[in-house]
Amino acid sequence: MIKENKPNLSQDEIWREPVNLALFRKPQGKVHVIAERCKECNYCTNYCPNEVLERSTNTNSHGYHYVQVKAGKESSCVNCGMCQTICPDFAIFVTEVQ
């Protein structure tokens, strides 16, 4: 229903830029994985808001398909820290890219 009533405008036409936008930049993060600690619980892959992470086809020495950054998504991390906070295994963390 809502979809039908939506004005037929493209994103560019409705988008209004804040006047001070130039002062801000989207934070960028780098994901680090300690593969040996990963237990494949999938919390980070599921809760990453930008869907940056996936399970590797490789396994670590304990037999778990550890987490890795998806190919082509290397610069999509916004350094929100959700993966680090939700990881029960201290296996993933992010650092800010300046």
Residue 58 makes contact with another protein by CB under 8 A: no
If the CB atoms of residues 23 and 80 are measured against another protein, the closer one turns out to be: 80
- Member of 62, 74, 96, 97 binding another protein (CB under 8 A): 62
Query: Tokens 């979809």 correspond to what residue?
Result: 3
Burial 62-98 (b: 16+ CB within 10 A, else e): eebbbbbbeeeeeebbbbeebbbeebebebbbbeeee
Give the contact letters, 69-88, x = binds to another protein (CB under 8 A), - = no.
---------------xxxxx
Residue 90 makes contact with another protein by CB under 8 A: yes
Using CB under 8 A, list all residues that contact another protein.
32, 34, 36-37, 39-43, 46, 62, 64, 84-91, 93, 95
